[in-house]
Structure 1
Amino acid sequence: MHWSDRYVGQDYVADEADCAVLACSVAREVLGLDIQLPGERRPGPFGRGALIQQHQADFARRVDEPADAQPVLLIARGRAQHIGVMCRLVGEWWVLHADEGAGSVLRQRLREMARQGYQVEGYYQWL
């Protein structure tokens, strides 16, 4: 059993169980890090994108390669507005993310994310 299995299929709930909450839960439960993102939420892609730009350097640093259980910032609809968590599973990279459109937490192959409308902005490591 992989650590990410326990998250797959959990419900997406805006502001309560969204992509940011999932990333913080994985940091705490898998990596033992207490990441406390700002409580402020801004709705929609412009709001999420603005918050990410405002705070990303406070919580994580960009790295060249993905790392297991560490964040990945994703571009959707032309804006960096979605966060996922990298998983190394069955010899390849996967992205665990709470997807609003699907209504649940998904684990998808990194190589297939573009087909789902996502591009990788960058890989990160929590501070």
Structure 2
Amino acid sequence: MHWSERYIGQPYIRGDQDCAALAERVAREVLGIDVQVPAQRGQGAFSRSAQIEREKFDVAERVDEPIDGQPVIMICCGRAQHIGVMCDLGGEWWVLHADEGFGAVIRQRLRDLAPGGIRVEGFYRWMHA
């Protein structure tokens, strides 16, 4: 069983169990990394996008290829406003993310994001002490 199974189906709760909180929790519980994403989240697409652009390099560095258990920033509605966690399942990449519209944590094939209107902004690796 892949580590991501335990998160699938957990409810989406804005500010408490949203996409950033999920990524932070996976970093701590799976990777043993204490990541501190901002507790205060922007409201709305413009605010979330500006916050991500302003603060992403404080906690992560961009990498060329996805890494299992590490973050991915996604573009929704034309703006980078969503974060997920990469999952390598049998040589295929999936994204674990807390989806507000679905109301829960889901796992989607990376190749299936684009048909759903989501693009990858970039793959990242958490920075930690």
Report TM bin, short chain: over 0.9
In the TM superposition, residue 91 of structure 1 has moved relative to its aligned partner by 2.0
Instruction: Give the alignment of 1:82-93 within 5 angstroms.
Output: 82-93=82-93
Q: For 1:64-83, list aligned pairs within 5 A.
A: 64-83=64-83
TM-score scaled by structure 1?
0.98
Q: How do 1:1-80 and structure 2 match up within 5 A?
A: 1-80=1-80
SS at match of 2:37: coil
Deviation at 1:90, TM superposition (A): 2.4
Per-residue CA deviations over 1:7-62 (Å, capped at 9, x if unaligned) read 00100011110000000000000000001112222111111101101100100000
1:86 alignment partner AA: M
> Does the 8 A contact of 2:15 with 2:40 survive in 1?
no
Structure 2: gaps of 5 or more residues: none
CA distance in 2, matches of 1:51, 1:41: 8
Distance in 2, matches of 1:23 and 1:113, equals 18
TM score, norm. by length of structure 2 = 0.96
Please, what is the CA RMSD of the aligned residues?
Answer: 0.7
Q: In structure 2, what residue type is equivalent to 1:48?
A: R
Unaligned runs of 5+ in 1: none
Q: Which SS does the other structure have where 1:58 is aligned?
A: helix
Q: 4+ residue runs of structure 1 moved beyond 2 angstroms? A: none
Q: C-alpha displacement at 1:115, in angstroms?
A: 1.6
Secondary structure in 1 aligned to 2:10?
coil
For 1:3, the aligned partner's letter is W
